[in-house]
Amino acid sequence: MKGLTKTVIRVKGMHCASCVAGIEELLKKTPGVKDASVNFGTEQAFIEHDPEAVPVNALHQAIRSAGFRTEEEAPDFSSHHHHAEKDITVLRLQFLVAALLSVPLMYVAMADMFDLPLPAIIRNNSPLVQFLLATPVVLVCGYQFFVRGFLALARTRLATMDTLVALGVSAAYLYSLIISIDIWGSGNVYTGVHLYYETAAFLITFILLGKYLEAGARGKTSEAIKKLIALAPDTTLVLRDGREHSLPVEQVIIGDIIVVKPGQRIAVDGIVIEGYSGVDESMITGESIPVEKAPGKQVIAGTLNKTGSFKFEALKVGKDTMLAQIIRLVQAAQGSKAPIQNLADTISAYFVPAVLVIALCAFLIWQLLGMEFFKTLEIFISVLIIACPCALGLATPTAVMVGTGIGAQNGILIKKAASLELAHKIDTIVLDKTGTLTRGEPKVTDVIGYGKTRQEILAFAASVEKSSEHPLADALVKSAEEETVALKPVEDFLSLPGKGVMGKVEAEMVFLGNRKLIESKNIELPVRIKEDAERLESEGKTVMFVARHNKMIGLVAVGDTLKNFSLEAVAALKRSGRQVIMITGDNKRTAQAIAKLISLDQVIAEVLPQEKAEKIKELQSRGRKVAMVGDGINDAPALTQADIGIALGSGTDIAIEAGDIVLVKDDLRDVVMALDLSRYTMKKIRQNLFWALIYNLIGIPIAAGVLSAYNLHINPVVAAIAMAFSSVSVVGNALLMRRYRRPAV
């Protein structure tokens, strides 16, 4: 299948995991569709298809043919939120109308049983009055259950919760209608024969109430995204033609100069060019302390300016801002499926057919045992109604939505639900050194010349490194600038990844790099130079060997410092029982000196970029579940190879793209929180699945009458109430996750 594309469609009207299975099955059978996945929690269908064989409008039509509604195109979240509010309003109206008709219906139906006062004209025409009150509830307020329940069955041959509701309500309503017609046709006076109009009406009423409460609760599970979207201001002050103009954010272009005053939110990403202030970045990074902003500092869209005023140049606008990227990542995570969801999907595939069989068997068995027909009918309806595949379908996605939202609010972006599920199983953490454990801003600490002065060694080294993008290059160039050392022109520059650099200076080749580079060029290392290098390396410094024309002329040592909280984060990871390993291209002495400072379990040193992924693979081959934490381009293969790739947000776009989890704050303590949040979320998912299963395992047999000998049974109205609130309880349990607090480190 060529030219595949991915389409996201909003699906409305799904009530359970069986609805999900039906839509997925329907889409997968559509010619031109390679794969389809539907998320019940976010009401999204993710479809991989050939647009020429099956255009998007055909996908919409396929879903609608099963009785579900779709949105014409995948809108942004704000649009979806508007539609969600509209759906809640409709459900509330349907429930209120159903309740207003069902309450007097119940009074009329129970008047004879409890000897309630009732006008004679209503008492004598009770079947007609009950019919007139029940019919709008069943056919108008509850029409969607019949349309979806029977259409889905016809189109996908899969019964859903709507099918169970439609069958249960139909049984009560049609039975009552047949009895009523018999009374009207025979001309007999109504003598209090049992009718089930009120049962049919209250089934619809309580199910609508449950759906209304569930929709409201589910809306709260995505509050993290709502809060993020609310951060973006609608307008901003832009300097054009020497004047300040208040413009819609959509009209801001790259290069515009933005003016930010105290109390205003920053509209786009950029770099400060004038002024000074403190900016609250807590909603992006989770860090509550305002960050100082001065010329040269970056600012992020959605953050709040606190005190001073400043101007900045717009560098990223619209969908390219960090805020927009965060929202997209969180939406993608919430829309994806966690592997544990497969359990609920598998159960749901057999759940509804099994309930239909149980209901029918219970009806026939009690009939054969001589129970009165109207009581066996109640049992049949109760079994159909009390069964709740909705709770199973909501157990996982609601917890995932809240969990990923909590992460986003704390600067931890979890890109896939599968990553959220797997993270707590990680038993080995592999940490890159430079830029991850250390600041990645090394400084030149020692320059040793052999037949050359300090300035000469620094001049050769900085000149060759000036064309390099390695972090150590900046340190050398800055050191040369600080000491006013003039740089020399370089020809034939060549970067040797994992080894160093080389280039022609003053007509002779200069080599600058690690021991591997010197050995590969067959340059002799005298004992004195080796001893000096070992001494510097034992101090935790990175040593660069400088050679000219195949002869060693000097050493340059560069020191790096640990990042804030690296020590605390490693200690917390070790306390959790996980193995912590550092991986680096540095030599063993330097790596071990750093490892000693933070009490690491193991060090893998002198590793070339392409070898990092191989080292991860070796650990996995021993049965370890590995998380790789890194920030550089050379970390990307290892991030991809690891079971979980954790990228620091301060790193490169490639590392962020490769990572499964992105730490916006560049704080290693967030690794601890990410793993703990995974554990907590999985705990809630298991609780939800347990209660959803227990509810059905206990409720269905009782509804089927297995405890009738103990006078314990469930009538259809009670079954409807129980079914409605089982889903609400699952969503409510997920919402309790908002009380989560980051672990102490």
Angle at 185 between CA 184 and CA 190, to 5 degrees: 35
With 0-12 / 13-18 / 19 or more C-beta atoms within 10 angstroms meaning exposed / middle / buried, residue 527 is exposed
Length of the chain: 745
Q: 3-state DSSP: the chain helix, strand, coil percent, rounded to 5? A: 55, 20, 25
DSSP E strand stretches across 214-256: 235-240, 243-248
Nearest one of 128, 8, 116 to 63, comparing CA atoms: 8
432 counts as catalytic: yes
The most distant pair of C-alpha atoms in the chain lies apart, rounded to whole Å, by 124
Edge-to-edge strand order for the sheet containing 602-604?
Answer: 412-414, 661-663, 644-648, 626-630, 428-432, 579-583, 602-604
Task: Evaluate whether 350 touches 389 at the Cβ level (below 8 Å).
Answer: no
Amino acid at residue number 75 = P
Q: Which residues contact 3 (CB under 8 A, 6 or more apart)?
A: 50, 51, 52
- List, as one string, the DSSP characters of 367-399: HHTT--HHHHHHHHHHHHHH--HHHHHHHHHHH
DSSP E strand stretches across 119-260: 235-240, 243-248, 257-260
Please, what is the angle between helix 197-221 and helix 77-114, to 10°?
150
Nearest one of 171, 199, 195, 201 to 112, comparing CA atoms: 195
Nearest one of 391, 463, 368 to 696, comparing CA atoms: 391
Cα radius of gyration rounded to whole Å, the chain: 34
Cα(472)–Cα(513) distance, rounded to whole angstroms?
A: 10
Tokens representing 526?
């005298």
Cα separations in angstroms, 640 against 604, 637, 728: 18, 5, 38
Nearest one of 225, 682, 612 to 413, comparing CA atoms: 225
Catalytic member of 87, 269, 432, 560 = 432
Nearest one of 482, 506, 474, 510 to 494, comparing CA atoms: 510
Task: Evaluate whether 257 touches 239 at the Cβ level (below 8 Å).
Answer: yes
Task: Evaluate whether 401 touches 684 at the Cβ level (below 8 Å).
Answer: no
SS3 sequence, 402-421?
HHHHHHHHCCEEECCHHHHH
With 0-12 / 13-18 / 19 or more C-beta atoms within 10 angstroms meaning exposed / middle / buried, residue 70 is buried
Q: Is 565 left (phi over 0), alpha (psi -120 to 50) or beta?
A: left
Amino acid at residue number 55 = P
Catalytic residues: 432
